[in-house]
Amino acid sequence: MATPHHIENPFEYAVEKFAWAVRDFAKFLIPHPERHAGQVAPQVRRIGFADLRAALREGAEDMGAFRDDVLFVGLIYPIAGIVLAAIAFNANLLMMLFPLASGFAILGPVAATGLYEMSRRRELGEHVTWLDAMKVFANPAIGSIIGVGLILLSIFGVWLAVAYQIGVATLGADTPPTLRVFLENVFLSQASPTLIVGGIAVGFLFAVVAFAISVVSVPLLLDRDLGLWIAIKTSVKAVMTNPGTMAVWAMIIAFSLALGSIPALVGLIVVVPILGHASWRLYRKIVV
């Protein structure tokens, strides 16, 4: 340990600066730890399929109430998807198209935070526009929300790395010359069964983890400043308390996103806002 008059070597200097960065980052995620002292996880209700239908209906009603405002917000998602696809094409990473498209849903709960905020304010009887979606940055729990986002981003990054290795192991490292050749390799080659089954199985595991820690945590943090770990714990508890119902909810999300991606991701302009508002409504039904 350095004394007051000790001259640090480069390694000690780097370790010290890294420790300071970690400390400052922790303060950003939980700027006032005393706020969360003594707080406990909220109770979780059991829900049924009728609650899923009600959440979807209420989410669609929210979207109808916001109309042009929410459609403007919804434009962000297909644009982001198209940008990711363009990067994959230009970087000769055709094998990453599916992992990018499917893994993008991992970040959905944080990306939909603005939609949660719009639904929350509508519940309060406020007049809501798309600008109100930006007010999430003034929420006292924004550091914890960003923390969830960083965890999901890490999961997304690991999924991309694993998916790339699966692609290399089955199709080889050489980039297909055209999209047609790539599709033939994926669906018609001898490696197709291993690639498809293995990729889906591994992707499913990543999706389950991401879904469990985020399906309730992000709207909960927006609603109550309980801290990052209490929010994640509550989200996992909600899934474990309602495994069948939440599995169906996850399948509804996956099917809707897949349907909204055809053609050219345009359907996401409508699908994502409905799912975002419905997710907030479902949170209200789960957490006491």
pLDDT in tens, 229-272: 899 999 999 999 999 999 999 999 989 888 877 766 677 778 88
Structure tokens at 86: 């363009």
CA distance 185 to 179: 10
| pTM given for the model | 0.79
- Of 44, 41, 40, residue with least CA distance to 284: 44
Are the beta carbons of 214 and 148 closer than 8 angstroms?
Answer: yes
177 contacts 246 by C-beta, under 8 angstroms: no
285: Cβ contacts below 8 Å, ≥ 6 apart: 45, 47, 51, 54, 55
Do residues 117 and 135 lie in contact, with contact meaning Cβ atoms separated by under 8 Å?
Answer: yes
Instruction: Dump pLDDT digits (tens) for 191-216.
Output: 888 888 888 899 899 999 999 999 99
The domain locations on the chain are: 52-286
Q: What is the pLDDT of residues 97-121, one digit of tens each?
A: 778 777 767 888 888 898 899 999 9
3-state secondary structure of 287: strand
Average pLDDT value over all residues in the chain: 81
Tokens of 159: 């999924």
d(CA 169, CA 262): 29
pLDDT, mean of residues 140-158: 89
